[in-house]
Amino acid sequence: MNNVQSAQLQKATMRPTGKVIVTCAVTGSAHTPTMNNDIPMTIDEHVEQSVAAAAAGAAVIHLHARNPQDGRPVSDVGIFRDYCRGIKDRCDAVISITTGGALAEQVVAAAPLAVAAVLEIVEKSAGMTVRDGYALLRSGAIRNYEDALVSDDAREGPTAFVEKRLPRWQGR
């Protein structure tokens, strides 16, 4: 079957429901105003564009936060809160706060052993109940978890906190 036949088959077998949900992200996850002058930077600009999208038919507003001074992506809870308040005060769109972008950059910059442990836990515990997940941790089956608990990095985090400095992760 070639691409044209595949597309025809898909079109013939899909039943249109007449209903759609439109989602609008007024910014992309990594784009900045230096790439496009129309990307909102300030809280008011985000609110205005989000409300306009809802008025144009968007049922969901997907939010990526921006530093109001330079427009770079951030994961500041206060900025997200201000976006949500402004949008909710003016429309009834569903608000979807991003889980990636700047937040992912912060996670990747975190202690590498802890990140590896979390990834292993997520992978091995997918579909488990909370009780089974804790049992998995206690069983010692999560090697990265055990390694992270006794690592130099495990001591570096609290030490850096007490010394009021950023931690220097070594991955050991």
**Residue 7 in this model has a pLDDT that exceeds 90:** no
Q: What is the pLDDT of residue 35?
A: 80
Whole-model pTM? 0.52
Count CB atoms within 10 A of the CB of residue 169.
Answer: 19
Which domains are present in the chain? 20-99 (3.30.750.90), 109-162 (no CATH)
Q: What is the pLDDT of residues 23-43, one digit of tens each?
A: 999 887 777 777 888 888 899
Q: What is the pLDDT of residues 120-146, one digit of tens each?
A: 887 788 777 888 888 888 887 877 777
Q: What is the pLDDT of residue 16?
A: 62
Q: Mean pLDDT for the chain?
A: 81
